[in-house]
Structure 1
Amino acid sequence: MSKGREAVLKRAFVAPDPGRLRLRTAARAVLGTGLAVAAAVLAGLPLPATILGGLAALLALFTVGDPTVRRQAVTTALLPAVGFPVLALATALHGRPLIRDAAFLAVVFCGVYARRWGARGQALGIFGFMMFFATQFLHAVPAQLPQLYAAEALALAACGLVRFGLWCVERRTPPPAVPAPPAARGLARPTTRQAFQNTFACALALGVGQMVSDERWYWAVGTAWWIFVNTASRGETLVRGFRRVVGTVAGIGVGLVVAVPLHGAPLPTIALVAVCVFGIFYTAAPSYSWMMFFVTVMAGLLYGLLGVLHPGLLALRLEQTLVGAAGAALAVALVLPVTTHAATDAWVQRALLAVRECTAVSARRLAGDEAADPAPHVAELELLLARVRTSLAPLLHPLSPLRTRGDRAREVLVHLDDCARQARGLAEVAADPDASHDARLTAACQRVETALHALVATGETPGAATAPDAAPHHHPGAERALAHLHDLEAALASLATPLRSGRRGVFAEA
């Protein structure tokens, strides 16, 4: 096995999993989806409705990501309010292609625009889109609507039972809140811009996809839609499209060897679908390519159950994926583009502000302010660093021609990780109730504040640290805090060089 493939495997399956959260979430997804399918079968629903129920459960478990269990329950309960009308609309327009296509694009625009309302808006938007998509996949007609409604209702009830009753992962590991992006209006608002970009991409995919196949065109639209989920710049979108194609190619290869020979045999197909559901959830965070691999294999297995799977259909799946990825690439290049430089610079600035907040709150805690708690700021910093890594992915991609900027981007990541490590260590020292304040901490915090001010474009002036009474001795906690502050100051000084390189910065024109 090549080093590249070995690294990809490690990133997907041996990636850090604190608290085994990914493992438990993936196992819960198999249980929830399996229970939804079992409920549909026991209710005597036909195969298309059963497949829709399984998809609805999978989507509810995958997309609902509110920061509290209570909000997750409300969002899950709201899913039918979106899903039922969309199913009715899509089935009613089954035999009217032009109106159907216009309605599909309207659903695309509204689904993306809904992301402005946070995690709930994103979940409802994705669910609505996928319900319209599923009716095309199943070729559903109005006469099937009662069965589809019943399957969706049973699926969401089963999903709720598992997620909020039998296996509530979130109660054990509360997810930190994702930092909200800066406020903006009009076309400057990311969700508005992406709504126009995604609609344009899906319109291209729909038109070209129908020229490739007037029956399976919806795969191109689905590809264009999903490429825009959780991306913020031109580079991120292109990399995500590339990874989707890679995962699809690998999934088609396995589908030819595994799914086609099965001929839709129920028991082995269901077992393999369960494996795919687990793989989708377990690999989604560390590797989009692996997630798409499992999605593609699962799609082939479902086509086998429906009795329409053959090698030519899998080849068509690849063609439609390429069409959708090309549509997304054209959209981010032509419609309200945001460069990698602009997106990454904003995330780096926010990460540095989080470092400053961590340091300031830790210093107050060391000075005796028991109300000061740096832990939430450390959690926010970790989330922001993850966004920086995602934003820098285009520059760090092996196929990127921008080698010099890629090297500088790696340097930025190294120093930012060092900053986070020192801020984390400082917060741990501050949590020690026996750590007393040392007069030297005031000067050290002031130097860090000055270094951060030089890197963060806030328009503020460095504040003067207020020195409390100096301790007459050097407490070990204060010594450790001083060491973290010294190393943080050094990391910030090293970070200044790559951030200021070039006329427009390290990420210019990427």
Structure 2
Amino acid sequence: MFVAPDPGWLRLRSATRSVLGIGPAVAVCGLTGHTLTAVITGGLAALLALFTVTDATVRGQVVTTALLPAVGFPVLALAAGLHDVPVLRDVAFLAVAGLGVYARRWGPRGHSLGVFAFMTFFVAQFLHTVPGQLPGLYSAVALALLTSSGVRFGLWCYERRLPPPVAAPALPAGSGLARITTRQAVQVVVAGGFALVVGQVLSEGRWYWAVGAAWWIFVNTSSRGETLIRGFRRVLGTVAGIAAGLFLALPLHGAVAPTAALVAVCVFGIFYTAPVSYSWMMTAVTLMVALLYGLLGVLEPGLLALRLAETGVGAVGAVLAVAFVLPVTTHAATNAWIERAVHSVHGCTTAAARRLAGDPDADPAPLAAELEVVLGRVRLSLAPLVHPLNPLRGRKARARRILALLDDCAREVRGLASVAADPQASHDARLAAACWRVEAAVEALVPPGARLPAAPAPGARTPVAHHPGAEAALRHLHGLERALADLATPLRTSPRAPLVPS
């Protein structure tokens, strides 16, 4: 976590801005006479808004943030109204959990609204919300969102000065149960049902921790292996967070000033570590929860032990669901993302070739940036296979070989895009021939019938004097050709077969 790269200090900026956004939001709620329960609800709403709203544009982020109360307020009213009707409350909670995952089919906005809806119901259980508290909670949430948004979109909107982020293209959505979000929604309901029942056996008052653990394990995953790894990391982070709670939160006995300071540190840790380490993020989350329980006057060692047990129940529920209910295999998911990466390599190569051939409208730079995003998704998908605890050495070796070759492709693509950006680099007939060979190597890796943009045909240009830019481009193209050819071996090898080193 501490040595992970942070280009442009984006993680540091995000974490610092989050503290500066959530702190004033909590202060405003407190200074306006809201109860401690309402202040905590407002602070959590501000945290969720800053954490989950990830639209590609600032305008999109503003719209999504404005829509949060539209889903949060009705869910909060539902949870409060069913407080004394356990059976209907449980059914409603599972329905909200399933719909929250299903909403991811509508992209980042659907994801944000789904998370906010689920967490609103969760917070209502955490704080034992009843209908009489709703007006105060609504005003606290509204004030917190307005205050945190003033920081995010007004005082410190650093996104306006950054190039728009590149979104990874989605995999083919399919329909019905072929759609990953649909399958995961069913899995979440099953996992949540298991966690709810077993969690209530462990505790009639804190069962919701098991449901929350099961639900969050599915966030940002798309295969069985990813979910298993995320469950393991959640339990690991919870253990570390409980240990920190025993040494830091418990001795404070709910003292407001030091607790508030530590909560701010936890908020910073959540935002700073989330992009690089789920375990560290969960450590910060668990410590923050312990501190909030201290403020509420109910923190004790037995409560922290119960949280660990409930988290374990949620993780088991998630594991059972992904293993036996409409499973999405790691092999199928990784192959789809690898194919997407190969397509991105081809698209960048074609754009670079056209740019070098004199087409001013062809620009490989955005496609190279897109490839980096897709490769990040490939690494996430392959993470279960390269994990140290994976006992299948053959699959681990295959996955590592694929990652190494895709990294080689990305390096050559970055170099090719850099050469193509040089206005002095002239076209060369050898470039067209090399691009054609790259296209052939790509077509050998993708399924038959996949449509690819055509690269310039060999010999389409008249040879000109060799140019240093053309020579550099040729080196990158030859490197791409070798890496793509080497990819054929691990991609065509059965996941269960031993991989012979090339």
| Shared fold per TM-score greater than 0.5 | yes
Q: Deviation digits for residues 77-97 of structure 1, max 9, x if unmatched?
A: 000000110111111111111
What amino acid maps onto 1:197 in structure 2? Q
- Asked whether 1:217 is paired with 2:213, we answer no
Tell me which of 462, 465, 472 is aligned to 2:456: 465
Q: Could you tell me which residue of structure 1 aligns to residue 103 of structure 2?
A: 114
In the alignment, the residues of structure 2 paired with residue 191 and residue 340 of structure 1 have an alpha-carbon distance, to the nearest angstrom, of 15
Q: 1:71-125: CA deviations, max 9, x gaps? A: 1100000000001101111111111111100111111111111111110000000
Give 1:404 deviation, angstroms.
Answer: 1.4
Separation of aligned partners in 1, 2:456 and 2:20: 54
2:135 corresponds to which residue? 146
2:22 corresponds to: 33
- Quick one: distance in 1 between partners of 2:333 and 2:173? 14
| Pick aligned residue for 2:378 from 356, 369, 388 | 388
Q: Does 1:341 align with 2:350?
A: no
Determine the structure 2 residue equivalent to 1:479: 471
Report the secondary structure of 1:455's partner residue.
Answer: coil
1:446-479 CA distances to partner (integer Å, 9 max, x unpaired)? 1111111111114258856334433421111111
Question: 2:290 — aligned with what?
Answer: 300
For structure 1, the 5+ residue unaligned runs are 1-11
**Residue identity in the other structure for 2:376:** A
Query: Which position in structure 1 is the counterpart of 2:319?
Result: 329
Q: 1:371 to 1:420 in 2, by over 3 A?
A: same
1:9 counterpart residue number: none
Partner residue of 1:67 out of 25, 34, 56? 56
2: distance between equivalents of 1:149 and 1:405?
A: 51
CA apart distance, 1:51? 0.5
Change in Cα spacing, 1:373 to 1:504, as seen in structure 2 (3 Å) is farther
Paired residue total: 496
1:270 is matched with which residue?
260
Aligned match of 1:310? 300
Tell me the distance in 2 between the aligned counterparts of 1:499 and 1:69.
39
The residue number in structure 1 matching 2:126 is 137
For residues 258 and 451 of structure 2, what CA distance do their matches in structure 1 show?
66
What is the match of residue 164 of structure 1?
153
Match of 1:57 in 2: 46
Q: CA deviation at 1:169?
A: 2.5
Residue matched to 2:429: 439
Which SS does the other structure have where 2:110 is aligned?
helix
The answer to whether residue 182 in structure 2 is matched with residue 181 in structure 1 is no
Partner of 1:453: 443
Task: Tell me if 1:489 matches 2:481.
Answer: yes
Instruction: Name stretches of at least 5 consecutive residues in structure 2 with no aligned partner.
Output: none
Q: Quick check: 1:103 aligned with 2:95? A: no
| CA 316–503 in structure 1, closer or farther in 2 if over 3 Å, else same | closer
User: Take 1:37 and 1:402, find their aligned partners in 2: how far apart are those partners?
Assistant: 49
| Structure 1, 495-504 or 54-63: larger mean CA deviation | 495-504
Equivalent residue for 2:12?
23
Change (3 A) 1:83 1:459: same
- Map 1:358-373 → 2, pairs under 5 A: 358-373=348-363
What is the alpha-carbon distance in structure 1 between the residues aligned to residue 39 and residue 85 of structure 2?
25
The answer to whether the 8 A contact 1:94-1:100 is kept is: yes
CA RMSD of aligned residues (A): 1.4
Which of 216, 222, 226 is the equivalent residue of 1:226?
216
Partners in 2 of 1:138 and 1:399 — Cα distance?
A: 38
1:503 Cα offset (Å) = 7.2
TM-score (normalizing by structure 1): 0.95
Give 1:35 shift.
1.3
Identity %: 68
1:415 paired with 2:405, answer yes
| 1:202 correspondence with 2:192 | yes
Deviations 1:23-76 (A, max 9, x none): 101111111111110110111111111001110000000000111110110000
State the AA in 2 paired with 1:240: R
In 2: Cα distance, 1:461 partner to 1:505 partner: 30
Q: Deviations over 1:189-231 (max 9, x none)?
A: 1111111011110111011000000000000000000000010
Picking from 488, 492, 501, the partner of 1:500 is: 492
Indicate the SS of the match to 1:258. helix
Q: Deviations over 1:145-201 (max 9, x none)?
A: 111001100011012101110111321223222322213100111111111011110
In structure 2, give the amino acid aligned to 1:366: L
2:78 is the alignment partner of 1:89 = yes
| Kept after mapping to 2: 8 A contact 1:395/1:406 | yes
Contact 1:499–1:505 (8 Å) recurs in 2: no
TM-score, reference length from structure 2: 0.97
Taking the aligned partners of 2:132 and 2:166, their CA distance within structure 1 comes to 44
Mapped partners of 2:221, 2:498: distance in 1: 20
Q: Of the candidates 155, 178, 188, which is equivalent to residue 144 of structure 2?
A: 155
Q: Aligned partners of 2:335, 2:497: CA distance in 1, in Å?
A: 9
Secondary structure at 2:444 match in 1: helix
**2:343 matched residue in structure 1:** 353
Tell whether the 8 Å contact from 2:221 to 2:227 is kept in structure 1 after alignment.
Answer: yes
Q: Is the 8 A contact 1:500 1:506 kept in 2?
A: no
Query: Do 2:241 and 2:282's aligned partners in 1 also have CA atoms closer than 8 Å?
Result: yes
Contact 1:453–1:461 under 8 Å retained in 2: no
Alpha-carbon distance in structure 2 between the residues aligned to 1:181 and 1:443: 31
Tell me, in whole angstroms, the C-alpha distance in 2 between the residues paired with 1:471 and 1:370. Answer: 19
